[in-house]
Amino acid sequence: MPRALVDTTVLFAAAYRRDGAHDDGLAVLSGIDDGSLPEAVVVDYVLAETLNSLLTRSGQDAATEFLDRLERNEKFHTDTLDSETRRIGKAVFRRHAELSFVDAMIAAYTTTAGHEYLYAFDDDFNAVDGLTRLATPSNPYRPS
């Protein structure tokens, strides 16, 4: 089954009703759930960033519920970055001032894991070669 990465901006927006991109984030997660979009890959750094943001803004219950939702869903896959990917991510972070540390780790992961597509509302990813940012619930494996 084809897969695409999902950034914190999408996960958090879907989980936090007061986020300005809530409806868009929810549309992406719904598409993953119903199979109209590729299965999701969430790297461990993104999971941590998302849950910490939910914890801060919505509390422990909301963060735990979202974690449980992701863990129960067979269409969401959490991957842990290995030491080589982290080494590459640190180099990307040093070269790209526009990327956060977590975003640099995502960029490195696309290189080492061979994933091209990333659902993200953060346009800083546009500077990363070999990565195609998807800001809408579109399926890159089924072009229209």
pLDDT digits (tens, 9 = 90+) for 50-103: 999 999 999 999 999 999 999 999 999 999 999 999 999 999 999 999 999 999
Q: What is the DSSP letter of 111?
A: H
Q: Assign 20 to helix, strand or coil.
A: coil
Q: Which residue has the higher pLDDT, 63 or 114?
A: 63
Mean pLDDT of the 110-129 span: 92
Per the CATH hierarchy, to which homologous superfamily does domain 3-134 belong?
A: 5'-nuclease (3.40.50.1010)
Sheet containing 76-79: give its strands across: 76-79, 39-43, 3-6, 117-119, 132-134
- Does residue 13 contact residue 28 with C-beta atoms inside 8 Å? no
In a 13 Å sphere around the CA of 83, the CA atoms on its Cβ side amount to 0
The domain limits of the chain are 3-134
Query: What is the crossing angle of helices 8-15 and 22-34, to 10°?
Result: 100
Confidence label for 38 from pLDDT (cuts 50, 70 and 90): very high
Residue 136, token pair as written in the block: 């809408």
